[in-house]
Each structure stands twice: as structure tokens, then as C-alpha cells.
Homo-oligomer: A and B are copies of this chain.
Amino acid sequence: MRILVVNVNTTESVTAAIEASARAVAAPGTEIVGLTPTFGAESVEGNVESYLAAVGVMDRVLAYREPFDAVIQAGYGEHGREGLQELLEVPVVDITEAAAATAMYLGHRYSVVTTLDRTVPLIADRLLLAGLDRRCASVRASGLAVLELEEDPDRAVAAVVEQAEAAVRDDHAEVICLGCGGMAGLDDAVREATGVPVVDGVAAAVTVTESLVRLGLRTSKVRTYASPRRKHITGWPLGGSRS
């Protein structure tokens, strides 16, 4: 099966890292295709950038010309998954939700450790909408920006571990979700420091997506995610108008 893993930002190196993470856990026979939006922010850390990502991701997926079996939206707390579900019949999985749902199999409560404080409410809101919030003990910010994670891995480990430890100690989290696509490599360090299971969203999403495809499950089309009605849309696809 072929799974599109779409980055929410326009930084190719992040796409490459996400793609590598996804491949590392993919089953034999699963082809992972990383995609980068053709417009949008180099990193997504707020609502403007997130809404732009929602459209950029849809635009990028629509421009993809080969057949595929599912889509993973590889942004933590970003908008857009619902739009993809309308556009497609194949399963669409958001890593924020895949991580949370996975964590809930492993402990009574989970916490998310993310990047900047300003992204905390976005993640909290997405979990609320997804109905996955009640067992969320906390969403904590490491204080590092998305692109800083790549630039200074040691500092990233230290900052994320510090918040993960606080989540376990003070918020009674029993599982930690790494709240940024760019944190994939940190799971071992966090698990060792805290002694609790650590869920990486991209990895979780790959196995969830493979499962949905294997079970022959597709997005429900009866109401919320019915295909868009036929109508005039000015300037869309946006990317298409540029190519």
C-alpha cells in the first residue's frame, strides 16, 4: 500500500526526517511518500500558519497524481484533517490524534510535550474536538521552536525530558506523547529518563493508517465528510495556479 505522509511546513529537511521516521516503522509492502506543501510557513507555530498549512496540505495532496491508499497529516495540533477527509475516500490520519489514541492504550492518562508555549492551546483544542481530551493530563511546552529541535539536538533532549519528567511527577501522566513531528528521534531518551512509554505521532500514525487500510475501512461519507458539493471555487487548487 502507498501512504502519503504530508508535512505541514515547507521545510524539506523536516519532510525528509518525517519520511524516515515513517519508513522506520512501516510494514513490509508499505510505501511511504513524503510530501511538502508548495506554499506555507517554514515551520508551523500558531493559527495563521496552521490554517495556511491546512490549505497547503490539501493543495499538495490534490496535486499528487499517483494512486494512494491513505494520507497522514504530520503536524501536531494543526488544522486540516477534516478537509482531507472530505476530499478523499481513503483514510486520513492526523498524528496528534493517532498519538493520543495510542497513548490511551498504555496508561491511565497521557501528556503531550510540544515546542513553544503558543502551540499548547492549538493542541488542546484539537484534542478537545477529537474527543480525546479527558484523559490528557497536560500539554506542556519545552520552549524550543520547531526548527531549533533540529539545530541543537542535545538541548532538545534536555528540554523535552525536563517537561516529560514534570508531566509524570506533577500531572500524573503515565505516557508521554512527543508533540511535534520533529521530535521523532527523542523517544528513547525520554523513555529512559521517565520510565514511561513514549509515543511518537508519526510512528503511531503509520501503524494506525496501515491498520485502517488493511481492514478495508474508509472515511464515512454520509454527513460531515461527504464530498464537497460541486461549485465554483476561485483560484483553487492554489498550488496548481502557480505551477
Contacts and interface: CB of A to CB of B under 8 A. Distances in A.
A238 interface: yes
B105 A208 contact: yes
Interface string A92-116: 1100010001101111110000000
A125 interface: yes
Number of identical protomers: 6
Contact of A131 (B41, B104, B203): B104
A223 B174 contact: yes
Interface stretch (A155-163, A178-186, A229-237): A229-237
User: Most chain-B CB neighbours within 10 Å: which of A83, A86, A203, A235?
Assistant: A235
A229 B52 contact: no
A175 B220 contact: yes
Contacts of A192: none
A106 B91 contact: yes
Contacts of A55: 51-52, 54-55
A83 B40 CA distance: 14
A17 to B, nearest CB: 18
Nearest to A55: B55
Interface of A: 10, 25, 27, 37-43, 45-52, 54-55, 58, 79-80, 82-83, 85-87, 91-93, 97, 101-102, 104-109, 117-118, 120-122, 125, 128-135, 145, 168, 172, 174-175, 195-197, 199, 203-204, 207-208, 210-212, 214-215, 217-226, 228-229, 231-236, 238-239, 241-242
